[in-house]
Amino acid sequence: MTAITVDAVDTSATTRPVHPPIPLTRVAGVELRKMFDTRSGFWLMASIAITAVLATGAVILFAPDSELTYESFASAIGFPIAVILPMVAVLSVTGEWSQRTGLTTFTLVPHRERVIAAKLLVAVAVGVVSMFLAGAIGALGNVVGTAITGTDTVWNVSATEFAYIILANVLGMLIGFMLGVLIRNSPGAIVAYFVYSFVLPTLSMLLATTQEWFADLQSWVDFNFAQGSLFEGQMSGEAWAQLATTGTLWLILPLAVGLALVMRSEVK
């Protein structure tokens, strides 16, 4: 009887190579490019500079000479920026679901938390850079405006106050990001943001003026109201505590719920 020997099969050729995970910096770079790739995304980002220039021009043309200060330019620029930045954050998240690119994105990067983290990093970076750009445009307007009118150039916004303004706008942008993660639908998240930013503060203020018990509680439950101290440039220990409390209630907890839903939701 002939013995048959079977040589060991070399499986090295069939072993699937193990590739290192995609770096977070590369994912963030892709997310940053996605903000500018489409015409709508490009013009949304460009509108930050455009509105800053328009607001600066409006102050130069219509503000009295006595009010041509850097604070006036910063206030005029701040309002449209505070509206645009949260829209940027909303669309950076909801695009994966509204434009049906989530299946491709999460196939290339299976770890969804890395994609969301990259979107968050890019949104915050865009917000900070946009605020510095708007601040530079306002500073230029302050110099040009006072040169035209022949008045003294007044720089009445300190570095600390400007840092507080940046923080306040970043927090507003994070609210838009949170709503995008929680709702994952562009129109729904945008409507929810405007309700949060304009309807809820009005109701909160009305309740505070009519109910004494809520007047003392407002700064501990109303995130918009708590952020007012940042725009005023006056932050005490109690103000920081109120900001942390309301931020946990309106930002951190809903964001945690939204992240849990993103991790479990079906991507089509």
Q: Which residue ranges make up each domain of the chain?
A: 24-186
Q: Check residue 1 and give its pLDDT.
A: 46
DSSP per-residue letters across 46-95: HHHHHHHHHHHHHHHHHS-GGG-BHHHHHHHHHHHHHHHHHHHHHHHHHH
Q: Check residue 27 and give its pLDDT.
A: 83
Q: Check residue 109 and give its pLDDT.
A: 75
Q: Which long-range contacts (CB under 8 A, 24 or more apart) does 191-198 make?
A: 193/86, 193/87, 193/90, 196/224, 196/250, 197/83, 197/86, 197/172, 197/224
Extract the residue ranges of the chain whose pLDDT is less than 70: 1-20, 99-103, 267-268
Instruction: Name the percent of the chain in helix, strand, coil, to the closest 5.
Output: 80, 0, 20
Q: Check residue 195 and give its pLDDT.
A: 93
Q: Are 138 and 70 in contact (CB under 8 A)?
A: yes
Q: Check residue 6 and give its pLDDT.
A: 47
Q: Is 117 helix (H, G, I), strand (E, B) or coil?
A: helix
